[in-house]
Each structure stands twice: as structure tokens, then as C-alpha cells.
Amino acid sequence: MSALVVRVALPVPIPQVFDYTAENITPGDLGRCVRVPFGRGEKTGLIVALPEDADLPVERLKPVIAIQREAPALPADWLAMVEFTARYYQHPLGEVVAMALPPRLRKADAVAGTEADPLLEATPEGREALHEARRDSRALAILRRLAEQGPRRRSLLREEEGAPAVADALKRGWVAPGAAADAALMDGAPELTAEQQAALEVLSEGFGCFRPFLLAGVTGSGKTEVYLRLVQQAIAQGRQALILVPEIALTPQLEGRVAGRFPSARVVSLHSGLAEGARSQGFVQAMEGRADIVLGTRLSVFTPLPRLGLIVVDEEHDASYKQHEGVRYNARDLAIWRARQCAVPIVLGSATPSLESWHAAETGRYRRVELASRAVAATLPRVRPVDIRREKLQHGVSEHLLRAIGRCLERGEQSLVFLNRRGYAPVLSCPSCGWVSRCPHCTANMVLHLTDRRLRCHHCSHEATIPLACPDCGDQDIQPFGRGTQRLEETLAARFPQARVLRIDRDAARTRAQWEALLDQIGRGEADILVGTQMMAKGHDFPRLTFVGVLNADSSLFAADFRAPERLFQQLMQVGGRAGRGELPGEVMVQTQYPDHPLYKCLEAHDFVRYAALQLEERKQARFPPFAANALLCATAPEVAGALAWLAEARAAALPLAQAFGVQVFDAVPMRMLRLARRERAQLLVEAPGRPALQGFLGAWSRLLWSIRPPRDLRWHLDVDPAEV
């Protein structure tokens, strides 16, 4: 049989695919991984086409080394999605494929462990052993869990307790596969409110076709319960459900609710915290239809799902859905594209929708469904701006806020003080000569972390020991300036020595296990005052938490980025929503020097609709998204002059195209944070009246950009629909 041509996408920073020859190729090999010679070495890529003709004479093409046929081929709709991603975000296809595929999927052992995933339940022998056991063990912990909570999937137990412990429990006969139960709703499901029931009926109309819904529900209104009822309907129809969450920190609680509600459903959790093998197996399990529910962060949007029937994007406004390195995609936007591709409904849920989604609902492109009241007996918390212009603060905390915390302690309730700045202090400084702890590699200060006595840059991760004296003048009286969560924790512990103060930030919760331990500690009532960053603002339910105090909110009011006020309002609404979610009433205090600012007035009234209208009118006047479409061309070099010179050349090449497509290309400027990780940065903005014009322009311009040979030490990228401008 003569050799046939295969077109391969390789993980190289070049916007092209490569042709090779292969023997015994079949149409079923489209979408398979393949090992090919490349340059002086070898690379693994993906077969994306089987063309009849090659770009070069066939005799000049190199043969493939091996085709990976042990793993299933990726389906055509998945290939279409990665091709769209590469095209829309102006990124080489091979790098998009490499990002979307789990690394081990390219190897023969990627599908190891694809056996059935049964429900495990406690056996009569196991229940008897539970009463007789004298020494605790991991296997015994699994047995106790199944006896108390009911059956659970083997894959979930392996992830949570470890494969050896599961194997030990099976070997001892303490647990065994049980009869598969119906995937119907469990008896423990709460009764829906009238508002939830009405929302569910509207959303259920979308099954069987592409329908984008915006579920706008206040914090605590029961959006998650509505999601679960929709998932139940999808499973009952024999379809799969994809649930996206913005961060790994949100997955443990949601995983628990999903597993408890659907004990017989095959649930796959996919996020960057998984080991490579677990991620690969989950990916294959979903692709082969052996998963009913896929729950994950932004990368999960690329999971192949042959029976997809529903997509849910929780906290759709969250900036974490946008990737800021490599392939700069937005998972929410790709989820909408995928829902259209597969003709399924998509539900975008948020208490504070993005202005883009809100505008889409206002103009009829999405259908808006509202949950205006909290579920159960809870009411929205009272929000009060605290004017600190004439008040003396104690390490940044007002007396009003401290007294409110004291009242919470007297009632035996929990309080949260929110400061979105981790570390002890944002900078170490010398009062004698003015020295500050600047990062040697970035245009940023190094943050003082007192717990491990280090100075750390939160941008490039450079670390240094705390100097004993000023490096410039030798003065030993160097002092921390400003405050972070560590210093706030210290301040509150000194003011309330009888209280248990718990800090929750990226330093305290570096791993999933640490994060879950902190959540358990809060849930058991083992903390009185919580000190938290934005990790605490999303999706958590603490019934005893009744007061939230917010520090340093004003810093985003007048920021250069036009989206900063929107993000501030969303953050304050979200963190304030942690208060009073149970039967106890809640209160929120926001320290500010601008108590009469429209943002705080809308926050006080819980009036997202009015704030959205004000912001959209401002954006319309300024021609900002959603009334325009933007892209950034960014360049980095050892010195900013080199980046600016290359961007000027790129702009000159763009001007004729810009006129043809009706877009505007602005002059290049240094970025606000000029230096990052030893490189200096500049950018230029492209503004178009809409996405079609922007895409037409970028497609033509990017081909020119690849032909402009940059200096060897310069790097550049396009950021389409940037989160920050």
C-alpha cells in the first residue's frame, strides 16, 4: 500500500501544521497522537487532517515514527473546537492542542485504569469490623465513611483517600461493589422555593437546543440547587453535564454536593491540582462516555463529551476563567461557543454578572432568569459604608469595625475581615534614607512575609531574606509599611486575645488538603474571626458568619483599567454575601474615604441593576466593551526601547489593514508594570466596532506579524478580549 499524507499539529510556536507520510493510515486515525521526526529530534503531535495532496512533493516528506493507537482518537467536534480556539485567539494550533490534552494522553499508559468505576458500599462483614476494630487505618476510615454516608464511586475514593487504602478495604472484604442505584434525586434535596421552581421551569425549556441563559441570583439564593436539578434532568435523558467553576478552591464543596446528590452518577473532577495520571484517566473516561458529570476549572472546557446535554458556568463573571499565559483563552466564552456547536443549553450563573453577559441579556441574545431572594429563611445583609476620613485607624482598622467584631464575639457568631493583600506588609522601608524593598527583577515591591521571615515578590516569585539593617544606609530601624493579612491577623489577635483568629489566604492554604482542613475548621466553629483574601469571596457557605468588614476597598475606585470598578463591585457583593446566609441576620461594613461614591450607594441598596446601567452608559460613551472589541499586542525585551521599536514597526504594518477593516490601532506605550521577571514590557491596543471586524483584521495582521523578524531577545503575543487594558 502506498504511503498517505497526514497533517500534524506540533507543539511549536509557529502558526502552521506539518505534513508527513504514513503507511496503513485510515480515516479512524484522524485525531490520534503521532510521533514524528522534527528538526534533529522527535516530537509528539496530533493528526488534524488527512489531505489528498501535500504542500510539498510526497517524496520530500518524512515518514511518521509511530501512531498512538492504544488511546481512542479525539472526536471531530473536539478538533473543531481547538481549531476555533487557535483561530480566534490567534495562537499556533499545535500549542493549543498541547495545552488542551493531558500530557500522559500521548503515551500508551494514558488509558491505564480504564476499567469500570463501580459504586463501593460497606459490606456486612465491614460493618461488623467497624465495631471490633481497635486500631485506626486509612482502610477503616473508608469503611466508616461508606457506612455513614452511603455508597461512593471507586475513582472518587481513590482520589480522596488514596488507591492503596481502597485496595486494602476491598481485599479485606470490608467494602464491595454494590448494585447501581438510579441516578434520581436523593431524598435529602431541599424543597425548592417558588422562585427557584419558576427559574427551573424556564431553564428546562432549553434542553435539546442551543439556548444561553443568564441566571442572575443574589448570594444565597440557591443557584447551586437549580444547577443540580438541571443536571438531574440531563442525566435522566442519558446526557452528560459539564459544570465549570472558576477556581480549584470551589471544587471540594461542590464535589461533595454533587456526589451526595447523585451517588450512582459517574463524576469526574478535572483541574490543575490533579496528578497527570488522574487527569488523563478522567479525560479518557469522559471522552468514552463513562462519565455522567464533569466538574472542573477552565481547562475542563476542552473535555470531550460525546453525550453532552448541559453546560453550567458558575460565577461566570470571575476573572479566573481567562487564561493569562500561553493560550490566552476565556473558558466562559469557549463554553458558549461549545454549547452552540453541540446544540445544548448553557447556564451562566452569578450574583454579579459580567457587564458583557448582562448587556447580552439586555439586548436579547441571552435569556435572563432572576433569583431575587435568598433561599430558606435568610435575608440579604445590611451594607454600610464607614467614613474613615476623620477617624483614627488602629493598624488600618476603624473603631466601628472593631466594635462590630466584638458584638459578634459576644453573640458567639463568626466574623470575616476581608483584605485582598496577603503577607505581613506590602513593603519594608527605611525611615532614614527612603530605601524600600523593591524586587530586583520587577517594577514592584517585595512583600514582607513574617511567618517564614522572607521578602517575596508576588509577581515573579523572587525571594530574599529580611535584612537586619538598611542595605543603603545601615540604619537598623527598618520598618514594615502598610498591612497585609498576616499583620491584620496579628492586630486582631492582640485586640481580641480570647478569640480564635484564622487567616485564610494562599500562604495558609497552599494545597487542596490545607484548604479543605481550613473549611472544616470554620464549619466546626473552631474559628471566631476569619482574616481572608479573595479566596473567601466565592461560593462558600458559613451559617454562623454574620459580619463582614472590608478594608482598603478604595484602591480600585480610580484605577487606570476600565474594568477595575466592575471587579470591585463584584468582589464587594460577593464577599458581603458570605454574611447572614443562615437564619442569623448579616451585616457588612466597608471602610472608605468616599462614602458618597455611586458604587457604594448601589452596594448599600444591593442594586446591581442600577450599577450595571451606570457602568454600561459610561462604557458606551467611551466605546469600551461590550460596545467595542479589543485586542492587545504585547512585547517584552531586556529594555523597553526594543519592545517599543518592534511594536512601532508592527503598527506601521497594521495601518493599511486597519483602514480596510474599520479598526483603530493606537500607539505603543509602556505597560503600567513596566518590568516583570527581568524583562521590560510594552503594548499597543487595537479597538474594533465588533468581533467580526476585529477577527478579520487580526487574521490578516497576524500573518504580517509572523513575517516581521523580531530581535532574538524579543518576545511577543496577541491577547484577544483582554481582561485588563
Q: pLDDT (tens digit, 9 = 90+) per residue, 540-584?
A: 778 788 999 999 899 888 888 899 999 999 999 988 887 876 667
State the Rg of the chain over Cα: 28
Examine the pLDDT at 316 and tell me if it is beyond 90. Answer: yes
At 144, the pLDDT band (50, 70, 90 cuts) reads: confident
Q: What digits encode the pLDDT tens for the residues 42-90?
A: 999 999 999 988 888 888 999 999 999 888 899 999 999 999 999 999 9
Residue 307, class by beta-carbon neighbours within 10 Å (0-12 exposed, 13-18 middle, 19+ buried)? Answer: middle
Q: What digits encode the pLDDT tens for the residues 7-24?
A: 999 999 999 999 999 988
Examine the pLDDT at 179 and tell me if it is beyond 60. Answer: no
Contact (CB, 8 A) for 463 and 456: yes
Q: What digits encode the pLDDT tens for the residues 383-397?
A: 999 999 988 888 889
Helix or strand run (H / E) with residue 633: strand 629-637
At 539, the pLDDT band (50, 70, 90 cuts) reads: low
At 532, the pLDDT band (50, 70, 90 cuts) reads: confident
Task: Indicate the range of 165-179, 220-234, 331-345, 543-557 predicted with least confidence.
Answer: 165-179
At 188, the pLDDT band (50, 70, 90 cuts) reads: low
At 376, the pLDDT band (50, 70, 90 cuts) reads: low
What domains are there in the chain, each with its CATH number? 4-100 (3.40.1440.60), 119-177 (no CATH), 194-371 (3.40.50.300), 382-424+483-618 (3.40.50.300), 629-720 (3.30.70.100)
Higher pLDDT, 223 or 110: 223
Contact (CB, 8 A) for 282 and 269: yes
pLDDT at 108: 46
Examine the pLDDT at 117 and tell me if it is beyond 70. Answer: no
Asked if omega into 306 is within 30° of 0 (cis), the reply is no
Q: How far apart are CA 287 and CA 268, in angstroms?
A: 11
Mean pLDDT of the chain: 89
State the average pLDDT over residues 575-598: 86
Q: How far apart are CA 68 and CA 82, in angstroms?
A: 19
Global model pTM greater than 0.85: yes
Task: Indicate the range of 45-49, 162-166, 240-244, 311-315 predicted with least confidence.
Answer: 162-166
Contact (CB, 8 A) for 416 and 530: yes
Q: How far apart are CA 3 and CA 327, in angstroms?
A: 34
Q: What percent of the chain has pLDDT over 70?
A: 94
At 178, the pLDDT band (50, 70, 90 cuts) reads: low
Q: What percent of the chain has pLDDT over 90?
A: 64
pLDDT at 134: 67
Q: How far apart are CA 284 and CA 304, in angstroms?
A: 8
Cα angle 622, 324, 562 (rounded to 5 degrees) comes to 20
pLDDT at 116: 56
Higher pLDDT, 180 or 575: 575
DSSP class of residue 155 equals H
Query: Which residues, in sequence order, are bridge partners of residue 311?
Result: 242, 346
Q: What digits encode the pLDDT tens for the residues 502-517?
A: 998 888 887 777 877 8
Annotated binding site for Zn(2+): which residue ranges?
Answer: 430, 433, 439, 442, 457, 460, 470, 473
Residue 280, class by beta-carbon neighbours within 10 Å (0-12 exposed, 13-18 middle, 19+ buried)? Answer: buried
Task: Indicate the range of 370-374, 532-536, 547-551, 673-677 predicted with least confidence.
Answer: 532-536
Residue 252, class by beta-carbon neighbours within 10 Å (0-12 exposed, 13-18 middle, 19+ buried)? Answer: middle
Contact (CB, 8 A) for 323 and 298: yes
Helix or strand run (H / E) with residue 494: helix 485-495
- Helix segments in 577-665, DSSP class H: 598-604, 608-622, 640-661
Contact (CB, 8 A) for 483 and 395: yes
Higher pLDDT, 87 or 188: 87
Contact (CB, 8 A) for 255 and 295: yes
Higher pLDDT, 718 or 434: 718
Examine the pLDDT at 187 and tell me if it is beyond 70. Answer: no
Q: What digits encode the pLDDT tens for the residues 244-255?
A: 999 877 676 788
At 203, the pLDDT band (50, 70, 90 cuts) reads: very high
From 138, 149, 144, 372, select the one nearest 257 (Cα to Cα): 149
State the average pLDDT over residues 311-340: 97
Annotated binding site: which residue ranges?
Answer: 430, 433, 439, 442, 457, 460, 470, 473
Examine the pLDDT at 325 and tell me if it is beyond 80. Answer: yes
Q: What digits encode the pLDDT tens for the residues 247-298?
A: 877 676 788 788 888 888 889 989 877 888 888 889 999 999 999 999 999 9
Q: What are phi and psi of 501, to 5 degrees?
A: -100, 130
Q: How far apart are CA 537 and CA 662, in angstroms?
A: 41
Residue 445, class by beta-carbon neighbours within 10 Å (0-12 exposed, 13-18 middle, 19+ buried)? Answer: buried
At 418, the pLDDT band (50, 70, 90 cuts) reads: very high
